[in-house]
């Protein structure tokens, strides 16, 4: 060891400039490596903090097909989304275990929207109006006196068709949602598609209604595109053909936000006694709905800029 230090000292004395330059070069190299490592660590922390504060907003080009539109329990008019429900189910929320069973989803629709305390649920066939290759369709109605465990009167000749689908994850563990509802006698000229094509802003939607004399039908449309909402209602209708024109819908726009070109929502027709005051949207407000109950179809359409009138 002493020999090593002695030889190093002699080399330094023989060539002091060259030795000093070598030591300086090594020291500068170590300093550069350390500085680079320190910058890399701090930059990574800075980018992580920046990512938490950045919000990316994407707008869909006009005419681009939207994702699956659900109408219940979540729909475009509520703040809740299917993703919220899926995250809760994935986290083990037992109160939402019914969302992974399509038949229970159809049954809960009868309970919470129509007020049926006891609902008969059966798979629908293609002849009933089931949508082939688009989730599942169930025929539901209140149980009759002759049904086991029934507690409601009979008298309904045709069931209500409830179309359900998995809007996010397919297969086991994915939640199910109602995407359309079809009632006998409440025909809406819109196909119950999971990805409805965008209608032009001046489109007219046709309703063919067949209801008893002591019933009134309330039809309407609701939609929004993230910051702008539109509503069109026509209450107290009798049997016959009726229409809703989209360009007559009242729009409320937040001028401080940039809106997309396509609005997502649904059209509906529901039945009440002709002496009952309508509530508007039956999915957002509780309503006493009578046979033949309700039809709901998802739609998208072009929403122009404007202000509420």
pLDDT in tens, 148-171: 554 444 556 688 999 999 988 888
**Residue 75 placed within a domain:** no
Encode pLDDT of 188-239 as tens digits: 987 666 566 667 767 788 999 999 888 999 999 888 876 677 888 889 999 9
Same domain, 107 and 242: yes
Phi, psi of 123 (to 5 degrees): -60, 135
Distance CA 134, CA 105 (A): 16
Same domain, 41 and 144: no
Does residue 217 sit in helix, strand or coil? strand
**Residue 58 placed within a domain:** no
Same domain, 45 and 143: no
Residues pairing with 183 in the sheet: 186
Same domain, 86 and 226: yes
Is 152 or 262 the better-scoring residue by pLDDT? 262
Same domain, 199 and 284: yes
pLDDT for position 303: 65
**Residue 136 placed within a domain:** yes
Is 36 or 25 the better-scoring residue by pLDDT? 25
**Residue 71 placed within a domain:** no
In this prediction the pTM is: 0.70
Domain span including residue 199:
82-302
Same domain, 169 and 209: yes
Same domain, 10 and 130: no
Q: What is the mean pLDDT of residues 123-128?
A: 75
Same domain, 15 and 98: no
**Residue 157 placed within a domain:** yes
The total domain count for the chain is: 2
Greatest alpha-carbon pair distance for the chain in Å reads: 118
Burial class (CB in 10 A: 0-12, 13-18, 19+), 5: exposed
Is 12 or 257 the better-scoring residue by pLDDT? 12
Range scoring the smallest mean pLDDT among 68-77, 194-203, 237-246: 194-203
Same domain, 142 and 26: no
**Residue 7 placed within a domain:** yes
Taken in order 110, 111, 117, 120, the sign of the CA dihedral is positive
Same domain, 239 and 199: yes
Residues pairing with 120 in the sheet: 141
**Residue 103 placed within a domain:** yes
Question: What is the rounded radius of gyration, in angstroms, for the C-alpha atoms of the chain?
Answer: 32
Same domain, 8 and 116: no
**Residue 307 placed within a domain:** no
Is 145 or 7 the better-scoring residue by pLDDT? 7
Same domain, 136 and 34: no
């Amino acid at each position: 060891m002493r020999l090593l230090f002695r030889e190093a000292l002699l080399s330094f004395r023989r060539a002091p400039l060259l030795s000093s330059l070598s030591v300086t070069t090594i020291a500068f190299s170590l300093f550069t490596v350390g500085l680079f490592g320190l910058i890399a660590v701090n930059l990574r922390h800075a980018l992580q903090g920046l990512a938490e504060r950045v919000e990316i907003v994407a707008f869909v080009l006009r005419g681009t097909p939207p994702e699956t539109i659900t109408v219940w329990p979540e729909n475009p008019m509520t703040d809740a989304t299917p993703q919220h429900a899926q995250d809760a189910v994935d986290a083990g929320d037992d109160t939402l275990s019914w969302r992974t069973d399509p038949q229970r989803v159809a049954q809960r629709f009868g309970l919470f929207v129509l007020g049926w305390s006891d609902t008969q649920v059966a798979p629908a066939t293609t002849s009933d109006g089931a949508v082939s290759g688009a989730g599942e369709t169930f025929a539901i109605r209140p149980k009759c006196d002759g049904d086991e465990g029934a507690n409601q009167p009979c008298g309904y000749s045709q069931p209500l068709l409830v179309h359900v689908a998995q809007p996010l994850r397919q297969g086991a563990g994915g939640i199910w949602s109602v995407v359309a509802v079809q009632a006998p006698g409440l025909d809406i000229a819109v196909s119950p598609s999971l990805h409805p094509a965008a209608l032009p802003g001046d489109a007219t939607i046709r309703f063919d209604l067949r209801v008893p004399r002591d019933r009134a039908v309330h039809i309407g449309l609701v939609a929004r595109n993230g910051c702008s909402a539109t509503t069109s209602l026509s209450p107290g209708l009798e049997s016959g053909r009726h229409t809703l024109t989209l360009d007559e819908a009242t729009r409320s726009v937040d001028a401080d936000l940039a809106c997309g070109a396509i609005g997502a929502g649904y059209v509906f027709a529901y039945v009440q006694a002709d002496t009952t005051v309508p509530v508007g949207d039956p999915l957002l407000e509780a309503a006493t709905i009578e046979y033949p109950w309700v039809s709901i179809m998802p739609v998208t359409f072009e929403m122009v800029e404007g202000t509420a009138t």
